[in-house]
Each structure stands twice: as C-alpha cells, then as structure tokens.
Amino acid sequence: MATAGAQRSARTRTPVSGLRGGIDLGGTKVQAVVVDARGAVRGQDRQPTPLDGGPGAVVEAMATAMRNAATAAGIPTSQLLGAGVGAPGAIDSAAGTVADPPNLPWKNAFPIGPELTKTLGTTVLIDNDVRVATRAEYELGAGRGYPSLLGVFWGTGVGGGIILDGVPWNGQGAAGEIGHTVVKMNGALCRCGRRGHVEAYAGRASMEERARQLIARGHKSDLLHITKARGADRMTSGVWARALAGHDKLAEQLVDRAVEAIGVGIASACTLLDVEAVVIGGGLGLRLGQPYVDRIDELVRTLVFVRERPPKVLLASLGDLGGGIGASLQVGSSAPVRHHVG
C-alpha cells in the first residue's frame, strides 16, 4: 500500500518531531498516546482489543490506534522517535515478543515488536504493562519526587512494580507481584491456585466470583442487576462503584475486604522494602479513587513496621493514560538495568 511504502522510506530519515509513541495493550482495549519530551500527551486514540483473529488482528488494532494518535498529534508514525508497548504476559524485551498474555488470544511468543516496527515505520520496544505504568507514575505522575516507589495496580488482578532509587527492580524478571503475596495463610483460594493472596480478596475477578457465590446462597445485592443494566457480562469497576454509591451491603463488605487485603499487603511490602511512596492505580483503584486510597493509606500507617515515617500512599495521577505514557518512556532511554553500583 502507498501509505506503508511512504512509511518505509520515512524510516531512513531522522525523526525530528521529538515525539514518542506509547501503546497500552489490555484485554478489552488498546490505548495509544503520543507524548512530547516533557511527558505531555499530544495525541491519543483507543481501539477495542479484537479477541478473534489471533495476534495478527491485535497488532493491527495496535497499529491503528497508534496511527490515529499520531495523526491527532500532526505527524505520521514514521516521524516518531520510536514507540513503546506495555503488555501483559511473558515479555522478552530483546526479542520484542509477548507470550501467553492473560485475556488475549494467543499462547506462543509472538513478535509484536518486530511486526509493529515494520508496520509503523518506527522502532517499537516492549515491556511489561505494570512495570511501565509504575515508571510513568514515578517519572511524571503521583510518584514524582520520591526516590523509591511501589506501584500497585488494582483491577481484574492486582499487579505491582518496584522502583528502587530510580531504577526498576525486576529481580529475575518477575519481581513486584504483590497480588500474589500472602495476607492470610490457608485463606481464600486465588485464581493462581494458591491460597490467601492479596488478589484472592482484592482482585476484581475474585471479588465477582465471591459476590456471585454469596448471591447464589441468598445474600441480597444489586450487583447482578447493575451489571445487566449496563449490558456488561462482567462486574466492571463501574458496576462496583455504582453499587457502592447505592450503599449495596454486599458490595460494601467485599470492597472492605479488598481494602483490608490490599492495605495489609502494601504494609508488608513496605516493611520489607522501606520505600518512600506507594502509588495505587488500576481500573478499580482509579474508579474508586481518593476516598478508598485514603482508607488504604490509613491501614498502611497503622500496620507498617516503622510507624514514625510511614510511606505516602497516593492515587495514581495519570489515570487511564498512565500505561501508554509509561510505554512511551522506553523510547530513547537506556535499556532497563538491574545493577546497583557505588
């Protein structure tokens, strides 16, 4: 196609826009942004994630979102300094592949980076979605100015990212999984198959499962009606927020339980890591917002080991765009490093 041809030849020119692309790949939507050198969003677009058609269709939706965001910013994608992707699943940043992404339609490692690089005419880098969102809040959001940060993403599951004195701590590649730390030995069954994890109490999927069980056992709740009325097949963050607004007792109980589990999990993580701040994002975290972050903050202050200087517990400030903005920060920065040195 003519457009693709123009983009290919554009790759040989030096991009002069100073703009970076970022794509947040989720199970329901693809969010693309164009970000300038100071981190301001200059264009954006959102596409539904196609769940038929395999990884090829998903890559095409990502390319469309990125092209539209670039158009909104007034340039072709080939003029971007590059683009970054934040994706769930097992990421190989060097190869640019994503394997076994939860809620997405493929298993084996798929070369999203190389495919998008070809399609968009600009170099595309890939990292873990939670990790890039943590970095965005650290560099440009609520975590700005704190040397070390724990990012907690409260949504379908509960993910986490760690930055220690400015550098992501990834461990052997999977550090930060606060959702799968234990808050209650032999407690509730987690979707990962083990018991008592933060996510077993606070992950939206686990909360929904528990709500459906209790309703089936005769507990009264409007959660099912609200879900149906919204035409949703899942209890989205909006469904929970609506139920809380209507003082639905069951929703209140389950959210209280979630808040407690997240508060305990964060307190333990901070007792171990002794970081200055915690940023809470994710679909449910953003939707429930400041009043619930304040409740988590209060719990953490009570529970953390060094009570004289508890970590700041903050609501993510980049909202829905944090993932895309964080993804864009991969461009032009050095590769993630894991080494401390003097």
Rounded to the nearest whole angstrom, what is the least distance from the CB of residue 186 to its own copies in the complex? 8
Phi–psi pair at 48, nearest 5 degrees: -65, 145
Q: Give 268's contacts (C-beta < 8 A, 6+ positions apart).
A: 181, 183, 303
Residue 114, both tokens: 């190389």
Residue 281, both tokens: 């994002």
Under the criterion CB under 8 A, does residue 279 sit at the interface with its own copies?
no
Of the pair 162, 239, the CB lying nearest its own copies is at: 162
Of the pair 69, 261, the CB lying nearest its own copies is at: 261
Of the pair 16, 335, the CB lying nearest its own copies is at: 335
Stretch that binds its own copies, among 103-111, 115-123, 265-273, 288-296 (CB under 8 A): 265-273
User: Nearest CA to 102 among 59, 49, 60?
Assistant: 49
Task: List b or e across 124-137, with b for residues whose CB sees 16 or more CB atoms inside 10 angstroms.
Answer: bbbbbbbbbbbbbb
Strand 277-281 versus strand 312-315 pairing type: parallel
Stretch that binds its own copies, among 93-101, 131-139, 173-181, 245-253 (CB under 8 A): 173-181
Under the criterion CB under 8 A, does residue 342 sit at the interface with its own copies?
yes
- How far, in Å, CA of 137 to CA of 306, rounded? 24
Largest CA-CA distance found in the chain, in angstroms, rounded: 66
Under the criterion CB under 8 A, does residue 171 sit at the interface with its own copies?
yes
Under the criterion CB under 8 A, does residue 334 sit at the interface with its own copies?
yes
Could you please report the per-residue DSSP string of 49-88? Answer: PP-SSHHHHHHHHHHHHHHHHHHHHTS-GGGSS-EEEEES
- How far, in Å, CA of 101 to CA of 98, rounded? 7
Site residues for its own copies, 17-76, by CB under 8 A, read none
Stretch that binds its own copies, among 31-39, 59-67, 236-244, 267-275 (CB under 8 A): 267-275
Q: Which of 42, 180, 242, 295 binds its own copies (CB under 8 A)?
A: 180
Under the criterion CB under 8 A, does residue 109 sit at the interface with its own copies?
no
- Residue indicated by tokens 């992501």: 168
Per-residue x/- marks for its own copies, 128-167, CB under 8 A? --------------------x-----------x-x-xxxx
Binding site for its own copies (CB under 8 A): 148, 160, 162, 164-167, 169-178, 180-185, 187, 192, 194, 196, 260-261, 264, 267-269, 271-276, 302-303, 305-306, 309, 334-335, 337-342
